[in-house]
Amino acid sequence: MSKVEAIQYGDRKVYAVAAFNRGVAEWLQRLPTVWVEGEVTELRRNARWQSVFFTLKDPTDGACLGVTIARNRFDALRLDLTDGERVHVFGRPELFEARGDFRMRALSIERFGLGDHLAALERLKKKLAAEGVFERKRPLPFLPRRIGLVTGNDAAAKQDVLATITGRFPAARIVVAETLVQGPLAANAMIEALRELAAAPEMDVVVLSRGGGSFEDLLPFSDERLVRAVAACPVPVVSAVGHEQDNPLCDFAADARASTPTAAARLVVPDATAEHAASSSVTANGSCKPTTGSAARRRSRSSASGHVSSTQRDVSVPSPRAQRSSVATRSCEPATRSFARRARSRAGTRSKSKSPTAASERVSSERNRADLRGGAARARTELCVGRLDAAQGKIEELARRAETVRP
């Protein structure tokens, strides 16, 4: 390191530009390493360059500081930085002597604040997905014997869930576990509440609920311990955290996700009013029509789980063969009635036509009527059988198509 010397002009010492820059650069090298916080702007990286350049900007007053870092060191960090991200840069100041540029030589870079949390959550999400934590999805019971609710103390989400469940199904039994849902102690508190509810007798489903909040407020619902506890819960779990745009990691581990607490309440219980109206309609008609759509799915889930609604006890669903026979018979009735009307019309026309003798006319008319009645009966039977065979063939064809399409 050469000594910086000034040129003497009388009683004045004058430094050359190169000497001045070299002296400042040597003095800066004696300073210790420091951490500097700011936003990344003007990031420039080129595979042919030895260094990566960007500007660190203070978001409060706009002050800027140029930063350089070795390209191999920057690539080893695997940060995938973009403009606007907030970071902490570790390094020391330096001065580029040839141009007099003051900058910071970075030795390490770390994300800070929201960017750091987002990157950590993305790494955790990939890790849990690779372990298969998000794969198990169990169906929700149609009529749960008891419903567990994990929510905050005096939270608005609790009132939404309770009001919706009791409004749709007044006979529902709900066990509420109020706990912390925000802050550093929230994850452990929710895990304990979840375990207690799952161990309660006759507990069939648990709702994990919280209203909206900031990203930091919802961080406990992405805690790895809570996510694993939700995935390992012995009863199905419905996650209803935040709003539609919020996606904490517990949403991926739960058996079902609801965009809001009110939507979660609609998932866990049926609408008793609609079910009662449907069953009353079937009873009033005096026959059980084939059940289709959502009602068929709900009744199949009820019979599979062993729970039967009181509005469905008097309703017996006919077998598929009986349904097909009933459909074929009803579809045959209009055709046979039309055939009978035409036959009677023909018989009446013949009876009114003039004939040589009245006796022979009556005999002929009676024979024609008997023949027509017998033909109508045979036609009715043949028509019903043909429709039934065609319907059965169509059903078998649809079943074969479903088997080929099914993954």
Cα 199 to Cα 148, 336, 384: the distances in Å are 11, 63, 57
pLDDT at 246: 81
Are residues 126 and 209 located together in one domain of the fold? Answer: yes
Are residues 126 and 108 located together in one domain of the fold? Answer: no
Q: Is the torsion defined by CA of 321, 325, 331, 332 positive or negative? A: positive
- Of the given ranges (69-78, 104-113, 343-352), which has the lowest mean pLDDT? 343-352
Band of residue 360 on the pLDDT scale cut at 50, 70, 90: low
Are residues 89 and 140 located together in one domain of the fold? Answer: no
Residue 224 lies in a domain: yes
Rounded Cα gap, residues 377 and 273, in angstroms: 45
For residue 107, the SS3 value is strand
pLDDT at 80: 82
- CATH code assigned at 174: 3.40.50.10550
- Give the model confidence (pLDDT) of 219-261 as tens digits: 899 999 999 999 999 999 999 998 877 889 999 999 999 988 8
Q: Are 176 and 149 in contact (CB under 8 A)?
A: yes
What is the mean pLDDT of the segment spanning 267-285?
69
Are residues 128 and 260 located together in one domain of the fold? Answer: yes
* Residues whose CB is less than 8 angstroms from the CB of residue 168 and which lie 6 or more positions away in sequence, other chains included: 265, 266, 269, 270, 271, 272, 273
Number of domains in the chain: 3
- CATH code assigned at 71: 2.40.50.140
Residue 11 lies in a domain: yes
- Of the given ranges (30-34, 193-197, 387-391), which has the lowest mean pLDDT? 387-391
pLDDT at 156: 81
- The two structure tokens encoding residue 212: 């909206």
Structural domain including 389 reads 318-395
- Of the given ranges (52-66, 93-107, 210-224, 349-363), which has the lowest mean pLDDT? 349-363
Domain stops at, among 112, 147, 179: 112
pLDDT at 395: 60
Are residues 241 and 332 located together in one domain of the fold? Answer: no
Q: How many residues does the chain have?
A: 407
Is the pLDDT at 166 greater than 80? The verdict is yes
Q: Are 80 and 42 in contact (CB under 8 A)?
A: no
Are residues 84 and 167 located together in one domain of the fold? Answer: no
Is the pLDDT at 293 greater than 60? The verdict is no
pLDDT at 345: 55
Are residues 203 and 183 located together in one domain of the fold? Answer: yes
Band of residue 84 on the pLDDT scale cut at 50, 70, 90: confident
Residue 102 lies in a domain: yes
Q: Which of 164, 29, 198 is nearest to 105 (CA)?
A: 29
Are residues 102 and 144 located together in one domain of the fold? Answer: no
Band of residue 1 on the pLDDT scale cut at 50, 70, 90: low
DSSP 310: G
Rounded Cα gap, residues 12 and 303, in angstroms: 103
Band of residue 398 on the pLDDT scale cut at 50, 70, 90: low
Q: Which of 87, 46, 91, 100 is nearest to 68 (CA)?
A: 91
Cα 101 to Cα 5, 18, 37, 105, 320: the distances in Å are 21, 13, 20, 12, 85
Residue 293 lies in a domain: no
- Give the model confidence (pLDDT) of 103-147 as tens digits: 999 999 988 766 667 777 888 999 999 999 999 899 999 889 999
pLDDT at 85: 83
Between 156 and 320, name the one with better pLDDT: 156
Domain stops at, among 268, 295, 329: 268
What is the mean pLDDT of the segment spanning 275-303?
49
Instruction: Output helix, strand, coil percentages for the chain, rounded to the nearest 5.
Output: 50, 20, 30
pLDDT at 92: 92
Are residues 81 and 164 located together in one domain of the fold? Answer: no
When the pLDDT of each residue in the chain is averaged and rounded to a whole number, the result is 76
Is the pLDDT at 306 greater than 90? The verdict is no
Between 243 and 278, name the one with better pLDDT: 243
What is the mean pLDDT of the segment spanning 289-305?
42
Q: Is the torsion defined by CA of 258, 263, 268, 274 positive or negative? A: negative
Residue 288 lies in a domain: no
Rounded Cα gap, residues 240 and 150, in angstroms: 10
**Which residues, in sequence order, are bridge partners of residue 37?**
88
For residue 155, the SS3 value is coil
Q: Are 32 and 92 in contact (CB under 8 A)?
A: yes
Residue 296 lies in a domain: no
Q: Are 336 and 383 in contact (CB under 8 A)?
A: yes
pLDDT at 299: 42
- Of the given ranges (229-243, 256-270, 278-292), which has the lowest mean pLDDT? 278-292
Are residues 36 and 167 located together in one domain of the fold? Answer: no
DSSP characters for 219-263? GGGG-HHHHHHHHT-SS-EEEEES-TT---HHHHHSSEE-SSHHH
Rounded Cα gap, residues 182 and 279, in angstroms: 45
Domain stops at, among 60, 82, 112: 112
Band of residue 332 on the pLDDT scale cut at 50, 70, 90: very low
Residue 35 lies in a domain: yes
- Of the given ranges (39-48, 166-175, 375-384), which has the lowest mean pLDDT? 375-384
Between 401 and 25, name the one with better pLDDT: 25
Is the pLDDT at 217 greater than 70? The verdict is yes
Instruction: Determine the number of helices (DSSP H) and then strands (DSSP E) in the chain.
Output: 12, 12
Q: Is the torsion defined by CA of 211, 216, 222, 225 positive or negative? A: negative
pLDDT at 389: 58
pLDDT at 184: 85
Are residues 128 and 20 located together in one domain of the fold? Answer: no
Rounded Cα gap, residues 3 and 21, in angstroms: 12
Q: Which of 389, 168, 174, 366 is nearest to 267 (CA)?
A: 168
pLDDT at 328: 37
DSSP characters for 340-378? HHHHHHHHHHHHHS--S-HHHHHHHHHHHHHHHHHHHHH
Are residues 146 and 263 located together in one domain of the fold? Answer: yes
Residue 284 lies in a domain: no
Helix (H) or strand (E) holding 40: strand 34-44
